[in-house]
Amino acid sequence: MDLTTLPTQSSDYTDASKTNAIAGSSTHDETLQATIDDSPAITLSPNTMVLAEVLSDETLNWRIHNCKISEKTVTQDLPMLFLYHYDSLDDSIKQAYPLTLSLLAKFNTPMTASEAATFIGIDSKLIASPWQVKVIGSLVVFSEALQLAVRLHWTNTGKTTEQLYTKDAAEAVIAAFKEWQFFGRIDVLYKNQQQTLVSIDEHNASDQPLLTFSPSTEYHYLPASHALTIIAKLEADKVQLPWFESAILERLG
């Protein structure tokens, strides 16, 4: 079965009940099954794979498919808080124009660099306008051998934008992705009928600490608590998983 041609449709996972096992049916929406274990420890059979562990296993032949950008902002024109403009000033200018009560009152007021210069009473050329960068994208990482594909989302920052003082936009984007991160929704497509795949909510933050995947031809999204567990694992092991960063930087280029 070839996973290089992957479905793009995403179907939602629905918690139908809180029974010990949610039985599968012929409909795709019910092919992602959940098992709830009331005991503190979850015991798995030797042939079971844990999604978070598998995704961070650098010995597997993982490949990246469909890395794309869904949102991109690279500009110097967006307003930002006055305090950022003031903090960027040269120390000699700060000494010449010390903070007054009127300036302090505007610290949390968004404005452009030109507006900040006017408010301080200096030439606009004395305030550098940082590049403001926000890029959001997604990618699919998949293993042909495991018949497993997982759609992940990535960004350079959790803030509205990241401000960078560089000479041009290209340098700003490169600098912005030194601390890129995974975030948000995770979708899973699992076609393997030979091996059991599960996801474990390590913090038991949901009513379903253990989810068991059934073979399916469509993506299904993970509950938020499970997604957070996987993201935490990927972030902790990111240095050992260079294919993610390589794909993202190539797409940005």
Spell out the residues 6+ positions from residue 126 whose beta carbon is closer than 8 angstroms to its own: 89, 90, 93, 117
End-to-end C-alpha distance for the chain, whole angstroms = 32
Q: What's the pLDDT at 16?
A: 28
Q: Which residues contact 71 (CB under 8 A, 6 or more apart)?
A: 134, 135, 136, 137
| Tens-place pLDDT, residues 193-235 | 999 999 999 877 667 899 999 999 999 999 999 999 999 999 9
Asked if 172 and 156 count as a contact pair (C-beta separation under 8 A), the reply is no
List the chain residues with pLDDT less than 70: 1-41, 205-206
- What three-state secondary structure class fits 175? helix
Q: In this predicted structure, what is the pLDDT of residue 32?
A: 42
**DSSP states along 32-79:** EEEE---SSS----TTPEEHHHHHT-TTS--EEEEEEEEEEEEES-S-
Identify whether the C-beta of residue 74 lies closer than 8 Å to the C-beta of residue 251.
no
Which amino acid makes up residue 153?
A: H
pLDDT of residue 70: 97
Task: Please tell me the predicted confidence (pLDDT) of residue 41.
Answer: 65
pLDDT digits 0-9 by tens, 9-20? 333 333 322 222
Domain boundary assignment for the chain: 10-73+132-252, 77-129
Say what the pTM is. Answer: 0.79
List of residues 6+ apart from 41 with CB closer than 8 A: none
What is the pLDDT at residue 45?
80
